[in-house]
A and B are shown apart, each in its own frame.
Chain A
Amino acid sequence: MAMLSHRKPWSAALVLAVIPCVSVAGRSNETPAASFRTGTSEVRIVFFATDQDNHPVETIDRDDFAVVDSGMVIREFRSLERTQETSLHIVVLVDASGSVTPRFHASMENALQVVSRESSTSGDDFSLLSFSGLHPDLLCARDCGTPSAQQKLLAIQSAGATPLFDALVYAAHLISSRHTPGARDVLILFSDGEDTISRSSGEDAVDAVTASGAALYTVDLNEPGTESRGSLVLRRVAEASGGRSFSMQEGAAKVLASILADLRASYIVTYPLPNRTIGSHSLRILPKHNLNLRFHCRRNYFYEEIP
């Protein structure tokens, strides 16, 4: 039997394919028991589109886009509908390494704004972790809105090396292990994008984030207008997960508003699995007519055979 998953197997909560298996046994004792299995495989992709001004597009039609799955252009879809997700499950990662010291206070305030604003107005699930030195630290989980948790967050000092990729891998595992149906998993990363000490590679981090199914939104702590290597890393990781990248100047309010707007403008498209090659399948959604439209979705999924 085949399983197609957009999470890696450690998180079986979400699968991209629905594979009904039917077993039929003999009805009487005299006839030998016979069984067969049948099934179909389907790819399900969550996406949203933005226009030339980087604003989410509210309404998308089947004729607006084509999916490029492992190089094959797919224009025939089984279904296209709005996502049913109504809440957010957010893990905020704050870079607390020495390299961001000048902007650390501002980034922490932004992270706290995200937490306090959302905790007070919605039932969204929050966790917050910082990373510096050799490993990431989980600062609070689900109780991040309490005064004691916030005091704890404000007491953090920035220093040491930057285990950015390890932190992303850790956060990806954390978010997929706590996934709840009906909630959109979102990672928000405040960083300059410069990893200095991780055991994981950048590729590991991208794989872990895309496999978790979470959308990564990055807030670039580098000076605006400077095209640093770190900024490029942040943008690429965010795009690979179907998320977006923002600058520090845009602030927490803008990031949150964008995440919510993206959630409201999200669709799920489904189509038959185009090929059964085991492993990673690359994904892109491209416009059929209007090149000003930009489609945001995860950049790959994993297909595997179940013995």
Chain B
Amino acid sequence: MKKSRNLRALTLLWPVVAVCGLYAAPSEQFGSYQHGTVVRMRMTDCLPGRHRFMVALGGPATPASPDVCPEYTLVSEKVVFVIVGRSSDQLVPLADVVDFRVHNSEIALRVDDAPRESKFNVKEMILRSDWDLGQKRLPNEQNAQPQPVGSGLAMRAAN
């Protein structure tokens, strides 16, 4: 009798424990800090997220704003991450070195021992060696681009 009461209590408690664990998990599961440098930044389309789905269902609460978010290329020792902010004004201070932690498809960034981290969605992960190879190829490809004949004149006419 007592055993079955305990079992029932456990059954009732289980969802509570699970939900608490779910909320606590992300901050605990972010690993230790790594170091990296942001080498590229551009404004791009925001990644679709859960909150956007809710907004779409509920309709926009604020006037329509451009759906562009900052995208950063973060180079670490072994991996290069392309990360996207969650809003247009989520800027990263472009310090020489930033500390970051990775968890699933998220990166938490910290600059200059700031108490708060900024979380970004990971769009791409590339091995540093592959990325370096791609960077070496880039200038050659740019040089190989056919230039229009008299491009200077063409620019002038266009302007």
Expressed in whole angstroms, the Cα–Cα distance for A290 and B159 within the complex equals 38
B28 in the interface (beta carbon within 8 A) = no
- By beta carbon, the residue of chain A nearest B42 is A71
A27 in the interface (beta carbon within 8 A) = no
Q: Is A286 within 8 A of B112, CB to CB?
A: no
Expressed in whole angstroms, the Cα–Cα distance for A276 and B93 within the complex equals 27
The residues of B that contact A305 with a CB separation of less than 8 Å are 147, 151-152
| A37-91 at interface with B (beta carbon < 8 Å) | 65-66, 68, 71-73, 75
A156 in the interface (beta carbon within 8 A) = no
Expressed in whole angstroms, the Cα–Cα distance for A9 and B152 within the complex equals 9
Q: Which residue of A276, A288, A304 is within 8 Å of B155 (Cβ)? A: A304
Expressed in whole angstroms, the Cα–Cα distance for A286 and B111 within the complex equals 14
Q: Is B93 within 8 A of A291, CB to CB?
A: yes
| B130-155 at interface with A (beta carbon < 8 Å) | 139, 142, 147, 150-153, 155
The residues of B that contact A290 with a CB separation of less than 8 Å are 93
The residues of A that contact B39 with a CB separation of less than 8 Å are 72-73
Q: Is B151 within 8 A of A304, CB to CB?
A: yes
Expressed in whole angstroms, the Cα–Cα distance for A173 and B38 within the complex equals 38
CB within 8 Å for A304 and B40 given contacts A75-B96, A277-B142, A288-B95: no
B10 in the interface (beta carbon within 8 A) = no
Q: Is A211 within 8 A of B159, CB to CB?
A: yes
| B84-127 at interface with A (beta carbon < 8 Å) | 91, 93-96, 111-112
The residues of A that contact B112 with a CB separation of less than 8 Å are 289
Expressed in whole angstroms, the Cα–Cα distance for A305 and B146 within the complex equals 13
Digit string of A272-294 for contact with B (CB within 8 Å is 1, else 0)? 00011111001010111111000
Digit string of B24-51 for contact with A (CB within 8 Å is 1, else 0)? 0000000000000011111000000000
Q: Is A73 within 8 A of B93, CB to CB?
A: no
- By beta carbon, the residue of chain A nearest B139 is A275
Expressed in whole angstroms, the Cα–Cα distance for A8 and B39 within the complex equals 29
Expressed in whole angstroms, the Cα–Cα distance for A158 and B142 within the complex equals 52
B5 in the interface (beta carbon within 8 A) = no
B63 in the interface (beta carbon within 8 A) = yes
Q: How many A-B residue pairs have CB under 8 A?
A: 67
Q: Is A9 within 8 A of B156, CB to CB?
A: yes
A32 in the interface (beta carbon within 8 A) = no
- By beta carbon, the residue of chain A nearest B38 is A73
Q: Is B151 within 8 A of A287, CB to CB?
A: no
A3 in the interface (beta carbon within 8 A) = yes
Expressed in whole angstroms, the Cα–Cα distance for A292 and B112 within the complex equals 15
Measured between C-beta atoms, what is the minimum distance from B114 to chain A in Å?
A: 9
CB within 8 Å for A286 and B94 given contacts A71-B40, A227-B63: yes
- By beta carbon, the residue of chain B nearest A302 is B155
CB within 8 Å for A3 and B152 given contacts A75-B94, A288-B95, A290-B93: yes
The residues of B that contact A71 with a CB separation of less than 8 Å are 40-42
B interface residues with partner A (beta carbon < 8 Å): 38-42, 63, 91, 93-96, 111-112, 139, 142, 147, 150-153, 155-156, 159
In the complex, besides A289-B93, A291-B91, 13 extra interface pairs with C-beta distance below 8 angstroms are: A8-B159, A9-B159, A73-B39, A73-B41, A75-B94, A227-B63, A275-B142, A276-B142, A277-B142, A278-B147, A278-B155, A305-B147, A305-B152
Closest 10 CB pairs of A and B: A66-B94, A8-B159, A71-B42, A306-B152, A304-B155, A9-B156, A305-B151, A288-B95, A68-B41, A71-B40
Q: Can you list 24 A-B contacts with CB-CB less than 8 angstroms, sorted by A residue number?
A: A8-B159, A9-B152, A9-B155, A9-B156, A9-B159, A66-B94, A68-B41, A73-B94, A75-B96, A211-B159, A275-B139, A277-B142, A282-B42, A286-B41, A286-B91, A286-B93, A286-B94, A287-B91, A289-B93, A289-B95, A289-B111, A290-B93, A291-B93, A305-B152
